[in-house]
Copies of this chain bind each other. A is one copy, B any other.
Amino acid sequence: MDTDLSPAGIIQIGVGFWGPKILLSAVELEVFTELAKGPLDAESLRKRLRLHPRSARDFFDALVALRMLEKKDGLYSNTHETDFFLDRAKPTYIGGFLEMANARLYGFWGSLTEGLRSGQPQNESKAGGEFFPVLYRDPVRLKQFLQAMTGISMGAAKAIAKKFPWGQHRTFIDVGCAQGCVPVQVALAHPHMSGGGFDLPVVGPIFEEYVASFRLDSRLRFHPGDFFKDPMPKANVLAMGRILHDWDLEEKKTLLAKAYAALPKAGALIIYESLIDDERRHNVFGLLMSLNMLIETKGGFDFTGADCTAWMREVGFRETYVEHLDGPDSMAVGIK
């Protein structure tokens, strides 16, 4: 071999699923929930979690090396982040998302090659099953899942509250609002704003509980409905986050057109997602998320800011722009 090229980068990505799977198993085994009660040595933690002695210490030390745990004088403890986000006893728990990734996505992604060849989703639907209807029937799991969505959306929500020109508007409704993370952040930052969220009826009580915990129930209301079957609620500003990417191009345009129809003149629509950069080469997360839509949906895909603003103009918006929010997330804004 007459070169100094190294395969290290290739190998590192090729077995790069090891670390993620270790974190997902740690959430499943409630490592962080146990350690939130206090630091433990390896043997005590192993017994609490009922692990076999063979690999427990490797497992804990791998979590230290991945910076998901700390280790000091032989005692393991959570990091600030894992204590806050992965302790099941805290309302800030986002493990619901990772539990779902562990129980479903990790395995379904094993069929990525088949998905790329067939263009067909590789989730429960392959066997005639469905995920969301099952989730919607279990209020405890649904709440945990919607809490996780809140945790994941918090960065984008705070950035939307800060960066969008709210001074020009009075009412705001988030379409597909889940627990209401974005409306709550907007209402907290802008006392003149009112509005709420639109989602399937089953989400209502969970939205209302969350909003009430911020004493915002006088300004934020839940609007039950189905965004394909029902008209969208009216407000100065509408938003949709991680909604459009679930649907095919025609469905995306239908949703954009329905939002346009519900807005007053000079009203605005905010689409917030992990928008792919227009060159389609930098926002890794957005591109991978689009392949996750292959695994999870019939025709969904992620898109660039340029894609989104072009569709917005097609359905009637007269002015559009794209602005970065937080991490991989950006917003595409259309003005009617």
Contacts and interface: CB of A to CB of B under 8 A. Distances in A.
B14 A50 contact: no
A52 B113 CA distance: 11
Contact of A287 (B62, B98, B284): B62
Number of copies: 2
A287 B59 CA distance: 8
Contacts of A82: 10
Contacts of A13: 19-20, 23, 66, 68
Nearest to A15: B101
A311 interface: no
Contact of A61 (B27, B85, B281, B285): B281
B8 A52 contact: no
A9 B284 CA distance: 15
| Residue of A50, A84, A283 ringed by the most chain B CB atoms within 10 A | A84
Contacts of A10: 23, 68, 81-82, 85-86, 94, 98
Given A51-B116, A84-B5, A22 B281 contact: no
B15 A52 contact: no
A288 B84 CA distance: 25
A105 B21 CA distance: 12
A91 to B, nearest CB: 9
Interface in A19-57: 19-25, 27-29, 50-57
A292 B18 contact: yes
Given A13-B20, A17-B21, A28 B65 contact: no
A106 to B, nearest CB: 6
Contacts of A27: 14
Contact of A16 (B17, B292, B302): B17
A101 B14 contact: yes
A110 interface: yes
B58 A18 contact: no
Nearest to A107: B110
Interface in A101-145: 101, 105-107, 109-110, 112-113, 115-120
B116 A53 contact: no
A71 interface: yes
Given A19-B16, A58-B291, A107-B110, A117 B65 contact: no
Interface of A: 1, 3, 5-25, 27-29, 50-59, 61-62, 64-68, 71, 80-82, 84-86, 92, 94, 97-98, 101, 105-107, 109-110, 112-113, 115-120, 151-152, 154-155, 276, 280-285, 287-288, 290-292, 294, 299, 301-302, 327
A282 to B, nearest CB: 7
A67 B9 contact: yes
B7 A116 contact: no
Contacts of A302: 58
Given A16-B16, A101-B15, A110-B107, A62 B288 contact: yes
Nearest to A299: B54
Nearest to A148: B7
A154 B1 contact: yes
